[in-house]
A and B are shown apart, each in its own frame.
Chain A
Amino acid sequence: MNSIPAWFGFVLVVVAVWFGQLETVTAAPRHDAPASRSLSRDRLEWPSWDDVSRTLLLRDYNTRIVAIGTTLLGVAAGTVGVFMLLRKRSLLGDVVSHSTLPGIAIAFIVMEMIEPGRGKWLPGLLIGALIAGLAGIVCTKLILRYTRIKEDAALAIVLSVFFGAGMSLFKAVQYIPSGSQAGLNHFILGKAASMVSADVWIIAEVSIVIVAITALLFKEFSLLSFDEKFAASQGWPIFRLDLLLMLLVAGVTVIGLQSVGLLLVVAMLITPAAAARFWTDRLGLTTLVAALLGGGGAFCGVLISAMYPRLAAGPVIVLTGVVFFLVSMFFGVRRGIVVRLATHRQLKAAVGRQHILRALFEFLEPQCDPNLPTSPQLVNHIVSASDLRPMRSWTLKRLRHLLRAAERSDFITAVRDGGYRLTVRGAELAHRVVRNHRLWELYLIEYADIAPSHVDRDADDIEHILAADVVESLERLLSQRYPHMTVPPSPHVIDATSELTTRQSAS
């Protein structure tokens, strides 16, 4: 029993090698036609204004057709892609698309055999592609289930075997009398311009069905993607749901064959979904954004390629999607790089501010009258940068930078000879910072058995992090050790100290 999987793998390898041989033999005598074209016709030219306006206003019937079909494809791909991404099955989409190739060829051959000359009937080809795509998934699942081959290897094996088989069959098709004119090769890289309105109808219908199914089973798919085990324990048929999701992916691939081609369709599935994750943390919105980005990217891509007739639509659509992705990656409001950098900067500034204020407070604390509340007295004293240096291990440059920042925020004021004085506002904040710091220290001392890693230390106020009873007992301890720490500065005391300040600076 144990040896069956090994045999299975061996047979697959033999098949792959055999197809590879076949391909090299059959590929040798043929030369591809476009080589005979003159060079000048292949040059990229800037579109005239007339071309641009014609395209943008969708005045061209052909552009209109292609734009509608591809946009709908983009919407469907974005919607389904979210779940592929969240299930960490991005590459399975690639397997589906590559696996469609032999299906197309076999469907063509079968249809030619039934009725010569009718092999190009599109629905037939697409059904063949769909079946082959699903067969690719089934093969992957079988390998995973019955062997110990890991998922990445299984995906690579199935993908290459199916694609190799498809390429070989394509060569074979060319010996069928009407085969060479069939244009089957367009399915590999796509040829949006060859779309006719009948094709767009198929794409529209399939897209709508795909989006509708995803919308109806949104709850089920999200549970499947988040927690498969829990879903199974609740009795959801996860295997069938998974299969349905794969069927939807195969559907997207099949309708994407004409416009972007099977090599690139995975980009339409995954790029919008990955881009959408930078914008939101909600699943519904992620899906909506992915659908919009998918549709929008496809639409823009078609328009661009329509202006440059020499450019193939498929790659342009994918590249437009990539541009959308890059924009999202940098400027996405939820997880975009810019936002993250800004948050990081803010955090760094906040930490620096807290450090300098704490250093000021702790430097001045011994000079204050211990029988009076500390913070109102702070404003009386003048501190220089060299006083603060030993308080923390910071460079002079960093210290000057922090002092300047604190001065800008009006926490300290510069006085003569490079000295600084805390403002009332700065003193209050310094008091709060030190108080939180000491509460935190006490917390660690008193409750050391609690893992500090489970407490969010970035929060501003200790009260928000710890339970109320803990803070209360900590404050009791704090008032014992630092008698005046917890007393909030009242307006009356501030008046008294400002008087004191004026007297001191006068003397």
Chain B
Amino acid sequence: MIRSVLTQPARTRIENEHPASSPLSIHDMTVAYHRKPVIWDIDYTAPIGKLVAIVGPNGAGKSTLINAVLDLVPKASGEVRVFGEEYHKQRNRVGYVPQRESVDWDFPVNALNVVAMGLYRKIGWCFPVRRRHRQTAMEALDRVGMADYAKRQISQLSGGQQQRVFLARALVQDADLYLMDEPFAGVDASTERAIVEILRELRERGKTTLVVHHDLQTVTEYFDHVLLLNMRLVATGPTSEVFTRENLRKTYGGKLALLDQVGHKMTLGESGR
């Protein structure tokens, strides 16, 4: 017992902090843009098969959290484990829905082409998209209620329809962990219903989904768990326990100003040296 601990101390430590069973565990993660910390010391372990809302005010670092998990921005410190391993080893188990505004919707492709992009990794270098891939993409479009629009050029879709196309692209990845950046932003009611339905379907199939969410009114209705974030992790747990007036006040209230001050002091101190 003692010997095994001595021979593999590092590994054991990692396993304790990052249980392999958890879809996503974040340990001591800090991310900074231009040396100004955006999120600090995040410690988080995601539950299996739950819908998790990431909630916080503007500039709280919600998107940054997702980007850092996906290795899209460098981490100043800390570790992330996806199903017990580093992200790049588990990529095909993670589905990602970026913000709709992050791309140029005037791009000359149709809805089906965009969904097929979710399969590119599976298709591999240089191989073209084949009929069976298009079929898979078509099924995903059907799941989000967009099968009739498959051949539409993407600029001719409404905002909600574009969002559904993005969702379908993540669905074809057939992942176990989904990260979605504001899928409900600026969508119509029927799209919102369609997305919620998809999210519930994913949960029923045992997938874990983290969703950056802005509408506080629907959090309790749509999500099992919440992650309250304002540069630091404010609280996390089941919605019924954590999504309280007190916690929301901490997330959106006076704390923001205080953290900003501390951050400002740190930057000043460093550059003064």
Residues of A within 8 A of B (CB): 2, 86, 88, 216-220, 222-223, 225-227, 229-230, 232-236, 277, 280-283, 286, 447, 449-451, 454-456, 467
Q: Please pick, from A86, A234, A286, A456, the residue contacting B120 in the complex, using a CB distance under 8 A.
A: A234
Task: Report whether A286 and B98 are in contact in the complex, using a CB–CB cutoff of 8 Å.
Answer: no
Task: Report whether B189 and A450 are in contact in the complex, using a CB–CB cutoff of 8 Å.
Answer: yes
Within 8 A of A (CB), among B181-222: 187-191
Task: Report whether A282 and B108 are in contact in the complex, using a CB–CB cutoff of 8 Å.
Answer: yes
**Residue among A88, A233, A277, A280 with the highest chain B CB neighbour number at 10 A:** A233
B91 within 8 A of A: yes
Q: How far is the CA of A216 from the CA of B124 in the complex (A)?
A: 11
Q: How far is the CA of A225 from the CA of B114 in the complex (A)?
A: 12
**What are the residues of chain B within 8 A of A234 when measuring CB–CB?**
91, 96, 120-121
Task: Report whether A281 and B70 are in contact in the complex, using a CB–CB cutoff of 8 Å.
Answer: no
Task: Report whether A233 and B188 are in contact in the complex, using a CB–CB cutoff of 8 Å.
Answer: no
Q: A2-B271, A230-B98 are in contact. Are A449 and B189 (CB under 8 A)?
A: yes
Smallest CB-CB separation from B192: which chain A residue? A450
Identify which of B43-51, B125-133, B233-241, B246-254 touches chain A.
Answer: B125-133
B266 within 8 A of A: no
Task: Report whether A227 and B102 are in contact in the complex, using a CB–CB cutoff of 8 Å.
Answer: yes
Task: Report whether B120 and A223 are in contact in the complex, using a CB–CB cutoff of 8 Å.
Answer: yes
| Per-residue contact bits, chain B 88-122, to A (CB 8 Å; 1 contact, 0 not) | 10010010101000111001111001100100110
A-B contacts besides A233-B70, A234-B96, A454-B159, 15 pairs, CB < 8 Å: A220-B120, A220-B125, A227-B98, A227-B117, A232-B71, A233-B96, A234-B120, A235-B91, A236-B120, A281-B110, A281-B153, A282-B108, A283-B107, A454-B160, A454-B191
**Contacts between chains A and B (CB distance < 8 A), count:** 87
Identify 14 residue pairs between A and B in the complex whose beta-carbon atoms are under 8 Å apart, listed by A's number.
Answer: A217-B126, A219-B128, A226-B104, A227-B98, A232-B72, A233-B71, A233-B91, A235-B91, A235-B121, A236-B121, A281-B110, A282-B108, A454-B158, A455-B188
Q: Please pick, from B109, B123, B128, B271, the residue contacting A226 in the complex, using a CB distance under 8 A.
A: B109
Q: How far is the CA of A152 from the CA of B113 in the complex (A)?
A: 31
**What are the residues of chain A within 8 A of B72 when measuring CB–CB?**
229, 232-233
Smallest CB-CB separation from A227: which chain B residue? B103
Q: How far is the CA of A88 from the CA of B107 in the complex (A)?
A: 11
Q: How far is the CA of A225 from the CA of B222 in the complex (A)?
A: 34
Q: How far is the CA of A456 from the CA of B123 in the complex (A)?
A: 35
Task: Report whether A286 and B108 are in contact in the complex, using a CB–CB cutoff of 8 Å.
Answer: yes
Task: Report whether A455 and B158 are in contact in the complex, using a CB–CB cutoff of 8 Å.
Answer: yes
Smallest CB-CB separation from A88: which chain B residue? B104
Q: How far is the CA of A314 from the CA of B71 in the complex (A)?
A: 46
**What are the residues of chain A within 8 A of B128 when measuring CB–CB?**
218-219
Minimal beta-carbon separation of A230 from chain B (angstroms): 6
